[in-house]
Amino acid sequence: MNGVMIIAEAGVNHNGSMETARALIDAAHAAGADIIKFQTGLPGNVISKYAPKAEYQIENTGNEDESQLEMAQSFAMEYESFGILKRYAEETGIKFLSTPFDIESADYLHGIGVGLWKIPSGEITNFPYLRHIAHYHQPVIMSTGMCTMQEVREAVRVLQDNGAGKISLLHCTTDYPTDYADVNLKAMLSLREEFGMETGYSDHTLGVEVPIAAVAMGAQIIEKHFTLDRNMPGPDHKASLEPDELKRMIRSIRNIEQALGNGEKKPCSSEIPNIVVARKSIVAKCDIKAGEIFTENNLTTKRPGNGISPMRWESLLGAKAVRDFKEDELIEL
């Protein structure tokens, strides 16, 4: 894949509806995303009946009475649904990906041919899970929300020791939505320096500025939640982009990719014709007779820039005029 990999994170924003899930695939493809990503997991395998909802989940759903398990069960999809969605995505022309939240779900996804693994921030301290994912010997993208650098080191070690393929790391802040003050985008650079791995950013802010800035800072992967409508019920919709916003973000990222260039400092092809127009040359400040000595008083610099460069100013002082020069005429030697 050339350029920044853009993952459109549908997550559970399908609300359990296959029709909505297909519409999310269509929207991600239309926006220009490289990958559409869902989340796979049997709620009973992932969440205990005693697990409370996060504050953001209570706020975003407006329901403080249900448990986290009950919430997850309300939008869960059967395994077979993801096989159907994978085929639909491939027919649509976008790569399918889904994050497994338990080992059984990972094995299902492996069985339908998912060959790239997205590890969510919440599983980064789950040793049996990490070991199992690594045993597929396939590439892994791991989010690092809520993590210390030491926790990232330990997770990377588990993956490497158990045979994982290429590992990429995403800086992330696990809060929905994330305040700008909590983004700490420079931590992405710290991950790159520490591990020397491909790095990127998984964004939960409300806007598009931060992922665009991340690309300008060298992110090679961007993941961003999106939804068909932020007003839909569910825990993640309010921190997601709508399709037009996703499209605008992707267009901006592609523009920034072009703008970054190759780093070599030299005039680009569009600048070259402007060199003559914008730069200056050494010209006669007044009429100068042949044989007259060039001095600070009879020379100056003016456009155009197709004569002797003003950087040669000192070498001209004291030389004799080879002919008569009229005011403003380009000096020749």
The whole-angstrom separation of Cα 6 and Cα 214 is: 12
Q: In the chain, what are the domains?
A: 5-260 (3.20.20.70), 266-333 (3.90.1210.10)
- pLDDT at residue 1, as a whole number: 64
Q: Which of 17, 6, 56 is nearest to 252 (CA)?
A: 6
For residue 124, the tally of other CB atoms under 10 A from its CB is 21
The whole-angstrom separation of Cα 146 and Cα 148 is: 7
Query: What pairing do the DSSP bridges indicate for beta strands 5-11 and 221-225?
Result: parallel
187 burial level (CB within 10 Å; 0-12, 13-18, 19+) = middle
Grouped pLDDT means (10 residues each) for the chain, 333 residues:
92 93 98 97 84 78 78 84 98 98 96 98 97 98 98 98 98 94 98 98 96 98 97 86 97 97 95 97 98 98 98 97 98 96
Look up residue 13 and give its two tokens. Answer: 């924003």
- pLDDT at residue 186, as a whole number: 98
Bridge partners for 169 per DSSP: 142, 199
Q: Which of 54, 31, 40, 90 is nearest to 226 (CA)?
A: 31
